[in-house]
């Protein structure tokens, strides 16, 4: 199949929406990362998404709506706390897991009786949802296991020939996927995947915000994942990623003892003065690091890095999302100095 590249004008967005209505798959920009959009209520279309990504069938897709009130059409019940959170965070990078009804097929929810609902703020994604008149299932538009795409070019690289079209809407603003939460009571939520809606932001509306154990720890054999995506090796470039936690001086010394010809370092902006080894930088603070991380992991593959020592980010605020993606990219290999 030929994958067409669409721009983000109204006429081209109608083409994208028409393809989705016909059960085709389209790469779409969102404020988090690019998504692989399909009609969430069409089983055949959703099957194509799993096939294009090579995604395990038990890893559920998030369903994207134009307005949170539409969640009533696809769920059994919506707790008051969800409405309160929606008022503050929708549209935006927050996904709420809610009990689904029969309008969302089991294949979309990876066999679960719940569905993750998000209302994206990106005007292109928003318009495509409106024009299609469908709930849009959209996982990150990467090959399963590889770093998520933050540009139309990344999507083309992974999906060319496998999907109908990609809409180019420029680089994704946040750069990491949405925060996924489940609602445990009218006062308590659990973060299943950290993102740019942080624990601190949620605490302004919830009495208790639990960070699921699987966010920073490897699941043990046989342990059930609250968030199925946490089971799999994820976000990994071809290069072997090793996180190194410590001061710049400790990091530099450690890297120096271990550098070989195919080794690179991924350090913070501001670290590079006199840094003696081959490096890329990925930002000065957590928001910048979220924005650049996946782009840099892909660039490291492009330049042929075999092994990468990454200076570990702060796990605070948005940093928790960056730390979570990196620790998975590293297969939990962390050197603490
Ligand atoms: P992606 O589609 O790549 O953004 O990944 C979506 C992730 O959200 C999945 O891997 C799950 O970990 C999580 N997720 C989506 N739907 C649910 C759900 N119904 N219950 C729990 N986690 C979910
Ligand atoms: Mg993904």
Report if residue 156 sits inside a domain: yes
140 lines ligand 1 (CB under 6 A): yes
Nearest CA to ligand 1 atom 13: 227
Please tell me the number of the ligand nearest to residue 148's CA.
Answer: 2
pLDDT lower than 50: segments of the chain:
none
Question: pTM to 2 decimals?
Answer: 0.98
Residues 25 and 97 both lie in one domain: yes
* CATH number for 272: 3.40.50.11030
Report if residue 222 sits inside a domain: no
| The predicted structure's pLDDT at residue 213 | 95
Nearest CA to ligand 1 atom 7: 229
Question: How far away, in angstroms, is 157 Cα from ligand 2 center?
Answer: 16
Residues 180 and 329 both lie in one domain: no
Report if residue 300 sits inside a domain: yes
Between CA 59 and CA 193 the distance in angstroms is: 13
The number of distinct structural domains making up the chain is 2
| The predicted structure's pLDDT at residue 233 | 73
Residues 109 and 209 both lie in one domain: yes
Residues 36 and 152 both lie in one domain: yes
Closest CA to 209 of 182, 191, 186: 191
| The predicted structure's pLDDT at residue 282 | 98
Residue with tokens 């389209």: 26
* CATH number for 29: 3.90.870.10
Report if residue 54 sits inside a domain: yes
φ, ψ (nearest 5 deg) of residue 183: -105, 115
Q: Kindly give the number of the ligand 1 atom that is closest to the alpha carbon of 138.
A: 2
Running DSSP on this structure, what letter comes out for residue 75? Answer: B
Q: Are 7 and 170 in contact (CB under 8 A)?
A: no
Report if residue 230 sits inside a domain: no
Between CA 186 and CA 80 the distance in angstroms is: 7
Host domain of residue 255: 240-336
| The predicted structure's pLDDT at residue 258 | 95
Residues 275 and 184 both lie in one domain: no
Residues 159 and 203 both lie in one domain: yes
* Helix or strand holding residue 51 (H, E): helix 43-53
Q: Per the omega criterion (within 30 degrees of 0), is the bond before 336 cis?
A: no
* Helix or strand holding residue 184 (H, E): strand 179-185
| The predicted structure's pLDDT at residue 228 | 85
| The predicted structure's pLDDT at residue 232 | 72
φ, ψ (nearest 5 deg) of residue 184: -95, -25
| The predicted structure's pLDDT at residue 296 | 98
Residues 209 and 274 both lie in one domain: no
Residues 65 and 181 both lie in one domain: yes
pLDDT in tens, 171-229: 999 999 999 999 999 999 999 999 999 999 999 999 999 999 999 999 887 788 888 88
92 lines ligand 1 (CB under 6 A): no
Running DSSP on this structure, what letter comes out for residue 285? Answer: S
């Amino acid at each position: 199949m030929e994958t067409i590249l669409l721009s983000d004008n109204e006429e081209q967005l109608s083409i994208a929406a028409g393809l989705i209505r016909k059960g085709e798959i389209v790469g779409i920009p969102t404020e988090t990362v690019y998504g692989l959009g399909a009609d969430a209520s069409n089983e055949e279309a959703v099957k194509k998404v799993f096939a294009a990504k090579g995604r395990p069938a038990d890893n559920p897709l998030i369903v994207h709506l134009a307005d949170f009130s539409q969640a009533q059409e696809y769920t059994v019940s919506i707790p008051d706390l969800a409405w309160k959170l929606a008022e503050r965070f929708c549209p935006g990078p927050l996904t709420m897991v809610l009990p689904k009804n029969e309008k969302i097929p089991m294949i979309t929810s990876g066999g679960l009786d719940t569905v993750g609902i998000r209302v994206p703020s990106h005007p292109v994604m928003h318009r495509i949802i409106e024009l299609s008149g469908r709930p849009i299932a959209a996982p990150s538009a990467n090959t399963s296991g590889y770093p998520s795409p933050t540009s139309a070019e990344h999507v083309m690289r992974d999906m060319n020939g496998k999907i109908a079209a990609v809409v180019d809407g420029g680089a994704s603003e946040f750069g990491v996927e949405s925060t996924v939460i489940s609602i445990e009571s009218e006062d308590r939520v659990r973060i299943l995947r950290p993102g740019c809606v942080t624990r601190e932001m949620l605490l302004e509306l919830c009495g208790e915000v639990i960070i699921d154990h699987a966010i920073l720890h490897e699941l043990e054999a046989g342990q059930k994942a609250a968030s199925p995506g946490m089971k799999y090796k994820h976000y990994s470039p071809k290069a072997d990623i090793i996180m190194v936690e410590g001061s710049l001086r400790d990091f530099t010394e450690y890297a120096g003892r271990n550098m070989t010809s195919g080794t690179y370092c991924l350090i913070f902006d501001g670290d590079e003065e006199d840094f003696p080894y081959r490096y890329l930088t990925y930002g000065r603070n957590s928001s910048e690091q979220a924005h650049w991380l996946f782009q840099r992991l892909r660039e490291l593959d492009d330049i042929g890095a075999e092994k990468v020592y990454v200076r570990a980010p702060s796990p605070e605020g948005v940093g928790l999302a960056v730390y979570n993606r990196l620790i998975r990219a590293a297969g939990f290999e962390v050197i603490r100095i």
